[in-house]
Chain A
Amino acid sequence: GNSVTQMEGPVTLSEEAFLTINCTYTATGYPSLFWYVQYPGEGLQLLLKATKADDKGSNKGFEATYRKETTSFHLEKGSVQVSDSAVYFCALSEMTGGFKTIFGAGTRLFVKA
């Protein structure tokens, strides 16, 4: 079945460091890909998305490119801030009844001042 694998955390960085969180997927067909972010005590919220190969999603300085040849959707940010500390989830959306979403296990990011 479809699945999402993302790097284990926690990831600890200093402010202004470069961030990469790796995400790979297995899927039949052509899923949509998403990154969600969860701040402490809150539900998940969409960070960015991409719907086809070579699409680049971007938001708040984060970006990720849909790579079909490597089945990857790595999240990057050039300069992280303390306020980026959160848990990040990679996800894919299946085109089956109800458009179920498959989530990775999540990667916790800590950014130190």
Chain B
Amino acid sequence: NAGVTQTPKFQVLKTGQSMTLQCAQDMNHNSMYWYRQDPGMGLRLIYYSASEGTTDKGEVPNGYNVSRLNKREFSLRLESAAPSQTSVYFCASRGQGKLNEQFFGPGTRLTVL
């Protein structure tokens, strides 16, 4: 099992460029999440998908879009990157039930110039 995988690991964009961050999990989890991590601010939820075919906004959705392509894959798109979106992005997944923890990918470090 690879767990949660993310691509790319590093990316540098210019202001206004677009890109898609990819995430996949092989644990047959229903729920998937995208977070951003900034110094001193912990993790903030951008979007989540409770199940295949559904997506919902989290705490900081502005400037992002997501697609739950199938049960395995959940992508995050920046349509017009801004310097404020410089961050480390983590994808996570979770199985059903109150007991279940989230499993995280290794992260994507994004810099917007």
List chain A positions with a Cβ less than 8 A from chain B.
32, 34, 36, 41-46, 49, 51, 89, 93, 95, 97-101, 103-106
Central interface residue in A41, A44, A46, A97, by most chain B CB within 10 Å: A44
Other-chain contact of A98, B42, B49, B90, B106 (Cβ < 8 Å): B49
B101 within 8 Å of A (CB atoms) = yes
Using known A-B contacts A42-B106, A43-B90, A97-B56, determine if residue A105 contacts B42 with beta carbons closer than 8 Å: yes
Using known A-B contacts A43-B90, A43-B107, A89-B43, determine if residue A101 contacts B99 with beta carbons closer than 8 Å: no
List the A side residues contacting B107 at CB < 8 Å. Answer: 42-43
List the B side residues contacting A97 at CB < 8 Å. Answer: 50, 56
Interface string of B71-113 (1 = CB under 8 A from A): 0000000000000000000101010001111111111000000
B44 CB, min distance to chain A CBs, angstroms: 8
B58 within 8 Å of A (CB atoms) = yes
Let me know if B42 and A106 touch, CB within 8 A.
Answer: yes
Using known A-B contacts A98-B48, A99-B31, A106-B42, determine if residue A51 contacts B98 with beta carbons closer than 8 Å: yes
**Cα A13 to Cα B92 with chains together (Å):** 31
Let me know if B40 and A105 touch, CB within 8 A.
Answer: yes
List the B side residues contacting A41 at CB < 8 Å. Answer: 106
Interface string of B26-62 (1 = CB under 8 A from A): 0000010100000011110100111000001010000
**Cα A101 to Cα B32 with chains together (Å):** 11
A82 CB, min distance to chain B CBs, angstroms: 23
* Closest 4 pairs (CB-CB, A-B): A43-B104, A98-B50, A105-B42, A46-B101
